[in-house]
């Protein structure tokens, strides 16, 4: 398909499709981490998405964002308030010890927006 003199791929992800896919990522992560503040999930998704800014091939961006944001959220839950802790970079496969995670009165792991920012 041609737009002016530029060839475009009709199957490539456009900006609107990417926005809808990222909304789905936020929704899935909010469902996966129901005890976290949705603003914390949003921050993890935004930071993960910003890391991929400028990449010309956008088809896998939502998937990569979901994996990186999920890793950040898991890290924040299991390592709250650890300023010196290493960040689980994008697509990290680190699996923190769930027994060491602080929890609220119900025994549910807790995290804050600061924890996600520190995980970045």
Smallest CA-to-CA distance from 47 within 88, 93, 108, 101 is with: 88
Cβ atoms < 10 Å from Cβ of 37: 15
The owner of tokens 């800014």 is 53
Q: Is residue 60 part of a domain?
A: yes
Q: Is residue 8 part of a domain?
A: no
Walk along the chain (120 residues) and give the pLDDT tens digit of each residue.
444 545 466 667 788 999 999 999 999 999 999 999 999 999 999 999 999 988 888 889 999 999 999 999 999 888 877 544 344 444 433 333 434 444 444 444 445 555 555 554
Q: Is residue 42 part of a domain?
A: yes
Range of the domain at 97: 15-119
Number of domains in the chain: 1
pTM: 0.60
């Amino acid at each position: 398909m041609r737009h002016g003199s530029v060839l475009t791929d009709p199957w490539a992800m456009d900006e609107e499709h990417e926005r809808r896919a990222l909304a789905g990522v936020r929704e899935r992560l909010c469902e996966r981490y129901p005890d976290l503040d949705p603003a914390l999930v949003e921050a993890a998704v935004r930071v993960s998405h910003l890391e991929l800014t400028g990449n010309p091939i956008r088809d896998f961006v939502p998937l990569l964002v979901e994996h990186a944001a999920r890793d950040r959220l898991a890290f924040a839950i299991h390592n709250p308030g650890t300023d010196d802790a290493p960040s689980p970079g994008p697509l990290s496969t680190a699996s923190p010890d769930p027994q060491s995670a602080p929890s609220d009165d119900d025994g549910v792991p807790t995290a804050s927006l600061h924890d996600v920012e520190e995980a970045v």
